[in-house]
Structure 1
């Protein structure tokens, strides 16, 4: 990405806002280093992490802890035989504590599947377990070494404390016996030069036999070491030296541990920094009340209710939202309208939003927005003249465009603000049209703001281009900051000049020249503006009605879901009662199966009712629509994902759910916009003729839903295990809680193979032989996780 575009669109100011939201110094530095990404896969991962981090922070209160920078410490570790001091090790412990708090948050999470990628990022990084435990044992919260850091250090400090108590007792007895209280400057013993001394008034220093070590700054106090304390103080000095030696041994041990686990230490530090940046992005999304636009493909530009991020951060009430839209067959947007109406702001909003989206940052736009993956953004706007380089505004624009012309292509976004101005209007307009023409031929995306009438007409007539106008109030001639499409706008330069206070005589003379030139098209533009304004008001009214209908539909869906849940629970209770009565032999097996069949029909009827309610909202979905990159939902798991591959022969799709990929049958997948049916109401699709036949014999097995039956009788061991694995996969996809495996009695060989297979299958919670009424040792009952 060209740094010139980053500077002109003020991307660095967005990063400065982001850095202020970080809680640590290294996190803030990492925020300032955020840049647009060149790898679509890396960008997809960053956006998914941001989405999960925002949801997790809102629902679980996930927060980052402050920690110091370890850059200096890590460089110091690279120098052999150098020992970290207590401050350096304290910094290491703070960083590891911050990373450990993140790991603990996700290891104890009640719903890790919802933010699976976030949890994997936190838990799968290498962890310096020995170093962290040693630092917690040896370092106190204030950064000092604990007594328990080593037995020798504990013993030395215990001896030092014993000597302190002994000295205190001896000094009190001495002062009381000699009556020295009136001569003491303070009523306590103090330390000078690491030796216990008495603070005597200077006038009475001869009252105590001892060694004078120092005087106070005022000279009124002298510090005298009594002779009876000399031996004790000498012993104290020896202990202090031993304490320093033991502390140095502990520091050397901890430093050696840090070197041994340096790779894991760096990974944990990177994890803490990454989450600090990630949670700062989530906080930025909340401040902007925005979302990360979907990025990918070569399709349309759809930025809904987009606001300039810096304006939205400065004052959300003054940031006017606009929809910036280009259809799939369009590549150029020509914006016209009055001065100070917001044309340049629209261009900067598009450019800065694109940079933020490509950098994995949230933007100030509505959910559902999307842009293509642009690997380069080029900006030509503002007064770029340079006296030092002898460039006029026009010459500077042409020079910069010429320098990058060969790089422009379908992967680029080009922003042109008043391109061609600063020279003859006719030639400038012709040059601007030619530039947009060639950009369309190259497949590049372009957005241009202009006052040239020729370029305005070009936007209406050129295939691949779209015209838009910034509307103004017909009565006050004030801008409304509304972007109307397929419309051109008047420049109203005379009205703007009048608002700015220009003399009326000058304006009247200008109007005369305008009439003489036959170029007064103001009435036409005003009429077009009025028509466009009426259309925008009608669109806004329809949008409000749509929101009301959506809210009504949502409430009806919630009511239906509650009622469906209540009915399902009643049916489950009936099934439990029937099974309990059958087990207690209160009713016969045939009667129980009949009652269960009636209950199952009631469940299926409920599922059909739900499908009928949701059918109008479901979009058409065919095998041809299931293209790589499409967002879908797995019906059985009710999880969203993205299609990565498709197998036409098997009619199966490889779906990526936050980093976890699996193959699913096309019938088990629906478009993301469609509401997925709950597992209890889903109609299972059989995998083979045998499982189809067995599916008609399903019976409820408890709260987890109906059991699925697979018949393996008559199959060889390898074929039977293959059939069993397929049945287990489909049971998981459909949300079935249990499986009945019919393998027959025979010699028991097939039963042993089945049990060995189930024992190692990760989704199996437990399995056991059926009771004699259900088939005894000829059937195995399997409970799934």
Structure 2
């Protein structure tokens, strides 16, 4: 992409802001070096990685702390047998400890495996083997204050133990000497100190001849001399030997750590880079939080569709003011959005160029910069201040022509500079290019400039490139309205105050409002009147018409905004109702399931009889069926218009079956209709009938014409409309037969059947007796009788449901 466009669109300012959110110097450098990507897969991978990391930061509670750079360490590790300094090892400990904490949080706490919710982040984290030995070594050998622990090695522990004993011995001798010779009055301080790694006494200078010994140094004021009495000379000589041994042992420890670090240098480098990437991603998350940003998914086949887009730098300025107290911290996200007016920047699928017109200071250039900067940021994998439903196509090149580009040194005018830059990129334009033209052609004759601008837009369309243009040329406005593939838009002004509203109205053009803007900025009235006279003489004043269009557009935008608010309220209300319905449904099924388990436990514990258990289970099923039917009927009664006028011969929908049928007869007094559905004729209530075009799914009734489903209670219910009306139980045990009979009746109830046939056979009559006993206790059964002899006699029972 063109770095010149990055400067004009101020992409570098976004990167500076991003780098300020990084906690480490390495993370800040990575942020400043960021460039937009041109590979679609890489762009979307970066977006997915950002969204994953943002979720992970929230879920894990992990937060990157400042850590040092290890660039100098990697240079040293490349030198064979190099011994790292203690400060370098301390920096290594900080990095590895923090990286290990992040890696542990990326594992599933239950299984210990890589967390499946963060595939991209885990792929980055576990790309190389962890430097476990180095981490264990630095944690074992270094204390939290950055010094080597005594237990870093056995020899070091022995040497330091002897040093402590020597210190105690020296302290005891100094006290004995001071008490014996009464020299406390000669000392500047009660305690001995170290000078050049030797124990000395802080002696007042005017008493230095009173005690025999060696003077090692003086204080800056000259009032104190650091005096080594002769009795401490031997002890100090031993101290020097022990100090030398301590340094030798410390070097051995550091050499050991250095060797481990060299062996695991790839893992150390990977973890350092991972920590830098985490810092960079955390900075992205802070940036997103500052302006409520989202990562866009770039789609090759998408069109430009930015919903409620805000200029990133303007949005960040609100966040920065809030940080220093200029903006109240109590502002909600919606209030912050209202400070920076969001706009929609959209092109239809068959459009490639957007031409923005309207008054000066109305926000045209801001629209151009908003699209350009959001395009650069999204292609760099950064979050952008738009709504989540926004989209952009792949843009591998962004070219911007904004502002005054004249150069006195190069003898180049504004118009010439624009032409030179345009000529330089013209042959490179393709379907993945975005060209931003701010009042292109305005630096020359208006007629020729407008003609040249139209020709440039024709070329952009031919190359299938994307373009956004701001203009005041009347001919270019007309071009935008008439040309295929070009969309016109206008910035809006308040019809009364003439102040800009910073909104876009599409498929119309706007007046330049030059005189109104000049008046608002203090130009003398006399000059303005003269300008109006000249404008009338030219006969080219179309401002009245355009102002009328502006007024209509403002009214339309206000109506659209009101409708969007109402739509949002309805969506929220629907979501609440659906949530409430889901909770009630789950509660109902849980209660039925709990009651069923309770009945079964009572039966197994012999607290109730088998017959009583069947009876109570049947009552539970009936309760569930009646609840579902009452809900369906309630929804149906709310959805069906009682004032509908049905006609005989009309094709209607029978709602319980969700089937079409012909209306044969109509009884308005009883509110019933006779239908013929697939050869079956039946009388139904008018509240169960809807006009053609309505359906069960449309009016919110549960569609019973679905295949066999499994309910949450674990009971399989056949809800097909065309199931058999006859159940044959011959040859089955009584308990199996009763279970099948219960399911059969449940299915009949759900399907709207009223009459059933149960074949149990004659035999001994035992099965018939069990069936009749069950039917007597089943609440949904209205009556039952043995069939006529020609229909099966006492081997079949006819059941009538309620």
With structure 2 as the length reference, what TM-score do the two structures score? 0.73
Aligned 8 A contact 1:175 1:181 in 2: yes
Check whether the contact 2:356–2:490 (CA below 8 A) recurs between aligned residues. Answer: yes
Q: Does 1:292 align with 2:313?
A: no
Deviation at 1:308?
Answer: 0.4
Specify which of 457, 460, 463 is matched with residue 478 of structure 2: 457
In the alignment, does 2:479 pair up with 1:476?
no
Alpha-carbon distance between aligned partners in 1 of 2:257 and 2:634, rounded to the nearest angstrom: 65
Q: Deviation digits for residues 728-778 of structure 1, max 9, x if unmatched?
A: xxxxxxxxxxxxxxxxxxxxxxxxxxxxxxxxxxxxxxxxxxxxxxxxxxx
Specify whether residues 56 and 576 from structure 1 end up closer, same or farther in structure 2 by C-alpha distance, changes over 3 A only: farther
- The aligned residue for residue 5 of structure 2 is 5
CA drift at 1:318: 3.6
| Counterparts in 2 of 1:548 and 1:92: CA distance versus 1, 3 Å | same
Q: Residue 505 of structure 1 corresponds to which residue in structure 2?
A: 526
Is contact 1:410–1:444 with CA below 8 Å preserved after alignment?
A: yes
Which runs of 5 or more structure 1 residues have no equivalent in the other structure? 615-673, 675-680, 687-691, 702-785
Counterpart of 1:374 in structure 2 is 395
Q: Deviations over 1:388-437 (max 9, x none)?
A: 22221111111111111111111111111111111111111111111111
Matched ranges for 1:676-755 at <5 A:
700=714
Cα gap change, 1:110/1:283 in structure 2, threshold over 3 Å: closer, same or farther?
Answer: farther
Q: Tell me the secondary structure at the aligned position of residue 542 of structure 1.
A: helix
2:72 paired residue number: 72
Task: Tell me whether 190-199 or 338-347 shows the greater mean CA deviation.
Answer: 190-199
Say whether residues 1:340 and 2:358 are aligned partners.
no
Q: For 1:402-551, list aligned pairs within 5 A.
A: 402-551=423-572
- Cα distance 1:86–1:696, how it changes in 2: closer, same or farther (>3 A)? closer
Tell me if the contact between 1:107 and 1:123 (Cα under 8 Å) persists in the aligned partners: no
Distance 1:682 1:98 in 2: 56
**Greater CA radius of gyration, 1 or 2?**
2
Query: Aligned residue for 2:311?
Result: 308
CA contact (8 A) 1:379 1:414 kept: yes
**Does structure 2 conserve the Cα–Cα contact (< 8 Å) formed by 1:564 and 1:606?**
no
Q: Is contact 2:213-2:229 (8 Å) kept?
A: yes
Residues 437-476 of structure 1: per-residue CA shift (max 9 Å, x gap): 1111111111000000011111111111100000111222
Distance, in Å, in 1 between the alignment partners of 2:604 and 2:3 is 76
Deviation for aligned residue 1:594: 10
Partner residue in 1 for 2:259 = 256
**How far does the alpha carbon of each residue in 1:685-739 deviate from its partner, in whole angstroms, 9 at most, with x for none?**
99xxxxx9xx9899849xxxxxxxxxxxxxxxxxxxxxxxxxxxxxxxxxxxxxx
Answer whether contact 1:311 1:319 (CA < 8 A) is retained: yes
1:66 touches 1:98 (CA, 8 Å); kept in 2? no
Give the whole-Å Cα distance in 2 for the aligned partners of 1:234 and 1:561.
85
Match for residue 131 of structure 1 among 134, 159, 163: 134
Give the counterpart of 2:275 among 252, 272, 280.
272
Decide whether the 8 Å contact of 2:593 with 2:713 is kept in 1.
Answer: no
Superposition RMSD in Å:
3.1
Report the counterpart of residue 28 of structure 1 in structure 2.
28
Runs of 4+ in 1 over 6 A off after TM superposition: 585-614, 695-699
8 Å Cα contact 1:466-1:486 kept in structure 2: yes
State the match for 1:772 in structure 2: none
Would the alpha carbon gap of residues 162 and 347 (structure 1) be closer, same or farther in structure 2, given more than 3 Å must change?
Answer: same
Query: Partner residue of 2:331?
Result: none
Contact 1:311 1:318 in 2 (8 A): no
Shift of 1:289: 1.4
Q: Which whole-Å CA distance do the structure 2 matches of 1:363 and 1:141 have between them?
A: 41
Answering whether residue 143 of structure 2 is matched by residue 143 of structure 1, we say no
| 1:394 and 2:415 are equivalent in the alignment | yes
Aligned 8 A contact 2:60 2:105 in 1: no
> Alignment partner of 1:100: what SS?
helix
- Aligned with 1:277: secondary structure? helix
Deviations along 1:549-604, whole A, 9 cap, x unmatched? 11111211221222123223223424533554566577899998999899899999
Gaps of 5+ in 2: 319-335, 636-696, 716-802
Structure 1 residues 489 and 259: CA distance shift in structure 2, 3 A: same
Question: 1:329-379 deviations in whole A, cap 9, x for unaligned?
Answer: 111100000011000000000010111111111111112111111111111
Equivalent residue number for residue 183 of structure 1 = 186
Distance 1:261 1:584, change over 3 A: farther
> Matches of 1:477 and 1:585 in 2, distance apart?
87
Deviations 1:51-85 (A, max 9, x none): 23223334443311210111111122112222110
How far off its partner does 1:29 sit?
A: 1.1
Are the structure 2 counterparts of residues 472 and 612 from structure 1 closer, same or farther at C-alpha, using a change threshold of 3 Å?
farther
Does residue 164 of structure 1 match 2:185?
no
CA apart distance, 1:219: 2.7
What is the total number of aligned residue pairs between the two structures?
A: 629
Aligned partner of 1:199 in structure 2 is: 202
Change (3 A) 1:222 1:436: same
Quote the Cα distance in structure 2 between the aligned partners of 1:501 and 1:493.
13
In structure 1, the partner of 2:346 is 325
* TM-score where L is the length of structure 1: 0.75
